[in-house]
Amino acid sequence: MVYHSQLDTSECQFACGLPLMPLKSKADHTAAESRSRDIVDESLYSFRANVLFRNFEVKGAADKLLIYLTLFVNLCLKRESSSLELCSNADAVLLYRKSASVSNTDFQAGIADTRVNKAGANALVFQLAHEVFKVPGDSGFALGGLLTPPVNKQEEGAFRLYVRQCREQAGQRLVDKCFGTDAAPSKYWLAFAQKRFLNKYLT
């Protein structure tokens, strides 16, 4: 079942066809569950269901932002998974070099002991959120046809500023969900790193 946004955009301003919807502050999103959801919450709540689909019918303007954030969360998980794999490979090589006679059991244990901690994950998604990203009208923009190119630099600036805030919030909240109180990321999130929502990747 595909999940659509339930949020109202009737009072929102727009940039490149994207609604500039209110976002909760960091203090808000770590507060009690009774607080109302914003679009970032919706994207994380629906992610593990929506990411399985190759088609998505846009039923409102908020769905456009939901699609973008789903792709971004997918990108975060891919980077997190790649980082975990690189750390494991590096640890395995180091372990092998330390002792050529190491048992296979100890060798595998050395790989399993490698962890990407929460602080490292937060740094990774923050960097990803602030990378230069494509906007509507750019060659290779993932959602060409869904969003419209900016008519001037002001609209492009508004789009970039808002989307960067969304990316930062989505990344922070994703890490909170992935790690919780555990030292290692949840396999129930990382398992979705290789899925390809709408058969697209953000670049």
Which pair of structure tokens corresponds to residue 150?
Answer: 């900016």
pLDDT tens string 47-58:
999 999 999 999
pLDDT tens string 73-113:
999 999 888 876 544 444 433 333 444 444 554 434 443 44
Percentage above 70 pLDDT, the chain: 78
Please state the pTM of the whole predicted model.
Answer: 0.82
Using DSSP's 3-state secondary structure scheme, residue 19 falls into strand
pLDDT tens string 19-45:
999 998 765 544 444 358 899 999 999
**Residue 43 carries which side chain, given as an amino acid letter?**
S
State phi, psi for 88 to the nearest 5 degrees: -65, -45
